Chains A and B, each alone.
Chain A
Amino acid sequence: MSEAAEHHGRRAGAGRAAKRASRMAAVVSTVPFITRKIPIYEVLNEEGLSLIEHNADTVLEEVGIDFKGDAEALAIWRDAGADVREERVHMPRGLCRQIIQERAPRSYTQHARNPARSVVMGGPHTVFAPAYGPPFVHDLDRGRRYGTIEDFQNFVKLAYMSPWLHHSGGTVCEPVDLPVNKRHFDMIYAHMRYSDKPFMGSVTAPERAADSVEMARLLFGDAWIDPASGKPRTAITSLINANSPLTWDATMLGALKVYARANQANLLTPFILGGAMAPVTVAGSCTVTLAEALAGIAFVQLVAPGAPVILGSFASSMSMKSGAPTFGTPEPAHVLYAMAALARRLGVPFRSGGALCAAKVPDAQAAYESAMTMLPACLAGTNFILHTAGWLEGGLAMGYEKFVMDADQAGMLQTMLNGVDLSENGQAMDAIREVGPGKHFLGCAHTQANFESAFHTSSLADNNSYEQWDAEGRLDMSQRANAQWKRMLNEYEAPPIDPGTDEALRDYMTRRKGAFADSNV
């Protein structure tokens, strides 16, 4: 019998004031990244997966992949045995897979400055991170507008306070108010200072990637080098997108090499809008995605054997009437399931999914479409789910209300992935014996011991009677979310940081910002 069921006597911190304080507190203690305990769902059998793999190898050998504007990359491929014709690289069948399987780690730990927040990418694990990249932000009060560094900091703070988001993400919105060539300093610093969760680095130029690595080195101080390997600990995972179809460009390759050589993780993601960057079919999209990913990941392993990688897949369908990307549709879900299986067969962590939608506001379209991507992402066994919170209008806007709504759903999904408790307490035979027919379970000892954590409770859903909902102002979910994010920002307290470390980071930024002129190109 648990302590709660025995329950006799007064306890320290009891009574109304203590309970109200604990139940109404906005910050929940750290929730660890997910270790899934339910089976993985797959849509293709062995024959189907082998077919895609065969076709991808055919693409690599016959069609080839462009490595644009990077002579070093071409030389590396030539040395590895590829057939390089100008900027197009043709990889012999099986070469990429062999390089990857010999060298790439099956999983890796991304270290956070607070070790309790470090995450494992790969295996049975799933990590949720905020949306990445929107130039606009949206909220109910001010509508849609360009993002600023203040918005960026706000989303870092909200992610820090959301227990179900295990990762601080990267470009949570684009701080358009800062010069293009210097905004990465303030973005990286915001993740380091206003959160203690793991984060992503700058990829828009090699020197900005180098700044990201240098700031991580300052942040980790003595803990930067892992004494076991003699290499830097992996503190950054960065998003390297393919310029699909079948192209890796100099900007991304430059950042990729900086991170790989510093033992930081590269997340290589073919970005497919079906019909534009790949054929309109599921198998065709998978083939292009796999070919690009194989080439990118193998390249990382040629640059820095053993450097951490993730195979990413971002696939959306397209309106064939307008050319607009569409989300929450069934075909990209099939791509997601297939790519997750292909990544497992290759032996590398997998990234996909997110609360993706084309909706402009946090409405029913937003919720349906987001759920229709988050659920496949979770069931597929995705290891890193970028875009878990905040995404609106195809990634053009980061929504404040959408962010807290998505973060709330992430808690539901985490509970689902945690599986079914079959322990003695989970079986609850004592409760069934105690209550018997015709009574209720609300007062029995087992319920008394378990009620508080028995069901995942949404912090935003309204389950009250019609009359109570009416009396409380007939608020819909987005209006309740509006109140919640404001309350969270109001109650936010920054995680402590060593003043010397903070000083070193600020010094570095001041010095580097002063070393060259502001520029918006």
Chain B
Amino acid sequence: MFRNLMIKELKLALHPASIMFMFFGAMLLIPSYPYPVAFFYVCLGIFFVCLSGRENSDIFYTMLLPVRKRDFVKARMTTVALLQVLQLVIAVPFAILRSSFGIPNSAGMEANTALFGFALMDFTAFNILFFTSYFRSPQKVGKAFLLGSVGLFVMMLVEEATTFFVPFMMALDTPDPVNLRAKLTVLAIGLLAYAASMPLIYLGSASRFEALDL
């Protein structure tokens, strides 16, 4: 059943823009740019998926199929995780290419290993705020996106700003493989936060969605 729901997500629910945004990791090639912003676009794609879902009565269609409400939550969150992780994977070769330029990024964090760890933390913040709001009231997808985006941008702002004056962050704002151990630690923390948060967000979202009158 879950497989069928995922096919439904990919064939019916996925907005074309969300696929396009996965390739915005290419923005890491811009010589001077606040690179975490590149990862915002996949969240915009998630908003499009949920917004077009509302316009296409996606939830009503799905709920009348032989599935439970929590199955829908699981499928939607898996779709989101797929988009976010794929965007990071697609961004890796662009980060490597950008590092080969040998020109520092004067606008903020370098396109390095730590950037991906921070991106995972940013996604975690977005997912917590977006999903808890979205599954409480799927009609108000704009509000959920606003909350998620505020969380995402606060995280990005802190990460980017601190690279200019916090010593530990300044150490992270270097090309690979300089300070690689610290950067790998940030990546590991990002991975852990992301992986640990998704089941918890699912449990909270599923219980909210179960209680919702459609």
A and B are partners in one complex rather than unrelated chains: no
Q: Identify the A interface with B (CB < 8 A).
A: none
